[in-house]
Amino acid sequence: AQSVTQLDSQVPVFEEAPVELRCNYSSSVSVYLFWYVQYPNQGLQLLLKYLSGSTLVKGINGFEAEFNKSQTSFHLRKPSVHISDTAEYFCAVSSRSGTYKYIFGTGTRLKVLA
Amino acid sequence: GAVVSQHPSWVICKSGTSVKIECRSLDFQATTMFWYRQFPKQSLMLMATSNEGSKATYEQGVEKDKFLINHASLTLSTLTVTSAHPEDSSFYICSATSRDSRGSPLHFGNGTRLTVT
């Protein structure tokens, strides 16, 4: 079974400041890792994904994330945020074997302040 | 590419009636579709996984007789909430994968806000 933990339910940050959204996972099998963003009353959009290879992955809108296998983490970062980055961010895992399903974390609400 | 259309975007129905939500992949074949339910300010709860032409696999605690899922083609899956009650009010989101590959990202519909009065 897999689980995803996003410890921060809300993260307020001033515009143009850097931000890190934390994600830790637990799994008995190897997983693929994803970050999604959700704007109000909409579905989710893929920000980035880690499948294999380089542990630092870059996504859309200037976001990047680093996979750390020893710490089972996949934290999302952006060096300078904009007001338009205000949204809900979800970390997710998909198992590489066994039952095929995606598991999402509880989400982190990023609020960018002017 | 990889667009998923979900409708209706919102629906209000009376208690005891049934509501059908459609999820279509517009420009790809969706071998697997997932249905999620999202409560306010909470994460997505996986309800069921459906593969084209076979019965859906429901998560523990999800009533399969209440939430009927049909994945009749590679481009269409439907979720029918039968005999809806106010506690079924929620935001329902469908998603689909474009290949039978676990590394494929999900493509999401824009969700359906269901309100049962």
Please provide the DSSP assignment of A36-103 as one string: EEE-TTS-EEEEEEE-SS-SEEE-GGG-EEEEETTTTEEEEEESS--GGG-EEEEEEEEESSSS--EE
**Interface check B14 vs A, CB under 8 A:** no
Of A42, A96, A107, which has the smallest distance from its Cβ to B102's Cβ? A96
Rounded to the nearest integer, the mean pLDDT of chain B is 90
Contact B103 A46 (CB under 8 A): no
Per-residue pLDDT of A67-104, as tens digits, reads: 999 999 999 999 999 999 999 999 999 888 777 778 89
Q: For A32-72, what is each residue's pLDDT tens digit?
A: 999 999 988 788 899 999 988 899 999 999 999 999 999 99
B60 Cβ under 8 Å from any chain A Cβ: no
Query: What average pLDDT does range B38-47 have in this prediction?
Result: 84
What's the burial of B84, exposed, middle or buried (CB within 10 Å: 0-12/13-18/19+)? buried
Q: What is the mean pLDDT of the segment spanning B38-45?
A: 82
Provide the pLDDT for residue B85: 96
Which residue of A102, A108, A109 to mutate against B (max B Cβ within 10 Å)?
A102
* CB nearest A43 (choices: B93, B103, B105): B93
Instruction: Tell me how far the alpha carbon of residue A78 is from its chain's centroid.
Output: 11
Chain A nearest-CA residue for B4: A43
Q: Which residues of A touch B6 (CB under 8 A)?
A: 43
**C-alpha atoms less than 13 angstroms from C-alpha of B36 in its C-beta half-sphere:** 24
CB A93 within 8 A of CB A36: no
User: Is any Cβ of chain B less than 8 angstroms from the Cβ of A46?
Assistant: yes
Cβ partners under 8 Å of residue A80, min gap 6: A16, A17, A18, A62
- The predicted pLDDT at position B99 comes to 63
Q: How confident is the model at residue B30 (pLDDT cuts 50, 70, 90)?
A: confident
At residue B102 the predicted structure's pLDDT band, cuts being 50, 70 and 90, is low
pLDDT digits (tens, 9 = 90+) for B57-99: 999 999 999 999 998 888 999 999 999 999 999 999 999 887 6
What average pLDDT score do residues A10-22 get? 97
What confidence category does residue A28 fall into, taking pLDDT thresholds of 50, 70 and 90?
confident
